[in-house]
A and B are shown apart, each in its own frame.
Chain A
Amino acid sequence: GAVVSQHPSRVICKSGTSVKIECRSLDFQATTMFWYRQFPKKSLMLMATSNEGSKATYEQGVEKDKFLINHASLTLSTLTVTSAHPEDSSFYICSAGLGDSPTYEQYFGPGTRLTVT
């Protein structure tokens, strides 16, 4: 199946710093990528939808100035957590779509565990 990678897999940063997470579709082109966050023992929450060459669409309650998303190419989307705080510590997961709606399959990256100290 299609492969999506994320880098880094784990990152620890100090409060106030920014962290960039990369999401790549390795063997297919994805016009749309999605970013989720997941707290321990909770379900995934969609943060934003990233479209190549245009601005991301954020879900209600997600601060676009804090979570900067760039989708510069059909195989790469980045999420930057700016001025990170301990409450931003979470598991961040991206996905990329394969196929056309409505038979839309999403392939997920392995996730990035962010710890803010």
Chain B
Amino acid sequence: DAKTTQPPSMDCAEGRAANLPCNHSTISGNEYVYWYRQIHSQGPQYIIHGLKNNETNEMASLIITEDRKSSTLILPHATLRDTAVYYCIVAAGNKLTFGGGTRVLVKP
């Protein structure tokens, strides 16, 4: 599976949008982009996934560049409960390889 690169940490203000970048320049044509997050001492939580089109659900939006080499997860109105480690994963099948993720701290 292709490797992803994410910034190790970022802060954002409560109530503002949080934009989390992810680079996956070696992504293959059949690989999807998945986002999960892990709140401290809990199991990861599925957020969203996409192939090439932008996706939106009740939690977030996923913007994938046209060349699919990078993507951005958008949390539209960050809350304190969104503080977590966010993982961007590219995978073609059911096997997920977790990288370091981005540690997001939402501040009041």
A residues whose Cβ falls under 8 Å from a Cβ of B: 1, 4, 6, 32, 34, 36, 43-46, 49, 91, 93, 95, 97, 101-111, 113
Contact = CB atoms under 8 A, between A and B. Distances in A.
29 contacts: A4-B43, A32-B94, A34-B96, A43-B87, A43-B99, A43-B100, A43-B101, A45-B98, A46-B95, A49-B95, A95-B44, A95-B96, A102-B30, A102-B32, A102-B92, A103-B32, A103-B49, A104-B32, A104-B91, A104-B94, A105-B46, A107-B46, A108-B36, A108-B43, A108-B45, A108-B46, A110-B43, A111-B42, A113-B41
A107 B45 CA distance: 7
A interface SS class: strand
B22 to A, nearest CB: 14
B interface SS class: loop
Given A111-B42, A111-B43, A106 B94 contact: yes
Interface residues of B, number: 23
Contacts of B99: 43
Interface of B: 30, 32, 36, 38, 41-46, 49, 87, 91-101
B98 A43 contact: yes
Contact of B41 (A49, A108, A111): A111
Contacts of B97: 46
Contact of A101 (B46, B87, B93, B101): B93
Given A36-B98, A108-B44, 18 more contacts: A1-B46, A6-B43, A32-B94, A43-B98, A43-B101, A46-B96, A91-B41, A95-B96, A101-B92, A101-B93, A103-B49, A104-B93, A105-B46, A105-B49, A107-B46, A108-B43, A109-B43, A110-B43
